[in-house]
Amino acid sequence: MADLELDQAVEIAPGVYWVGFDDEAAGLRCNPYLILDGDEAVFIEPGSVPHFPIVLRKVLSVVDPRRIKTIIVSHQDPDLCAAIPRFEEIIGPDLKIATHSRAAILIQHYGLRSPFYHVDQNGWRLTLKSGRELKFIFAPYLHFPGMFMTYDPVTKILFSGDLFGAFSYDWSLYAGEYYDEAMKAFHENYMPAREILARAMAKLDGLEINLIAPQHGSIIRDNPRRYIDILRNLDCGDYMLD
């Protein structure tokens, strides 16, 4: 496969782009994604303030930002939410922020202007203008009580939020041979308990998944089921050490 130009937006599936920053100093990479659907776009996990200029440049390279009608954020952390107010200034007034109501009550403290679309109050789905439907999969306490994943049935991509993320000083856009170890390290430190993790993994059974696109770490394209099974069986959480 040709070397990826990580200084550019990378199309990971038809109409779906990674627009993140290859921040070599960060052990925890952040991965914003864009879905283009006709004249509408959805922006997933926009990112942090320090990453904003680079992410913005990549967004502008693939879409007129006024086409972005929805930002989806899986939880409230600054590494995925802090840049939203800056993007609001560029995107314009027709934007809504899709998240869980438990996260929205915290995210408002970033000083947002856009209305919230509470995924838990809207049937756990978002219908785009074309009729395309994104599905939200509740994954509570992983690692926030309102955490959810986003599944796109068209591309069969699971945008997994912090789940399937990894610590990766030796980062690549797509998961490599030792990604399972980096992924375990992240989950052991950030996820609360094996039982809670296993419950979320069970919700992925029966779902056809081509790619797992986490907010941290690398995109999983080879045998996603193997990684689901690793997390299904992973002991995690500091409580075990008491």
Query: Of 86 and 184, which has the nearer Cβ to another protein?
Result: 184
**What is the token pair recorded at 101?**
């109501």
- Whichever of 3 and 238 has its CB closer to another protein, that residue is 238
Q: Give whichever of 7 and 170 is closer to another protein, judged by the CB atom.
A: 170
- Sign of the C-alpha dihedral, residues 171, 27, 220, 9? negative
Least distance (Å) from another protein to the CB of residue 222?
Answer: 15
Minimum distance of another protein from residue 79's CB (angstroms): 15
Query: Could you tell me the two tokens for 193?
Result: 């308990």
Q: Is 238 in the site for another protein (CB under 8 A)?
A: yes
List the one residue out of 141, 142, 96 whose CA is nearest residue 119.
96
Paired sense of beta strands 10-13 and 40-44, if any? unpaired
Q: How far is CA 86 from the centre of its chain?
A: 19
- Residues 188-227 close enough to bind another protein by CB under 8 A: 188-189
Closest distance to another protein from the beta carbon of 240 (Å): 6
Q: Which is nearer to another protein, 29 or 69 (CB)?
A: 29
Kindly identify the residues of this chain, within the stretch 12-51, that bind another protein according to CB under 8 A: 27
69: closest CA among 127, 142, 23, 8?
127
Identify the helix (H) or strand (E) that includes residue 117.
strand 116-118
User: Given CA atoms 226, 176, 73, 193 in this order, what sign does their dihedral have?
Assistant: positive
The helix/strand/coil state of 34 is: strand
Site string for another protein, 147-186 (x = CB under 8 A): -------------------xxxxx-------xxxxxxxx-
Using CB under 8 A as the binding rule, whether residue 108 contacts another protein is answered as: no
- The residues binding another protein (CB under 8 A) are 27, 166-170, 178-185, 188-189, 235-236, 238, 240-241
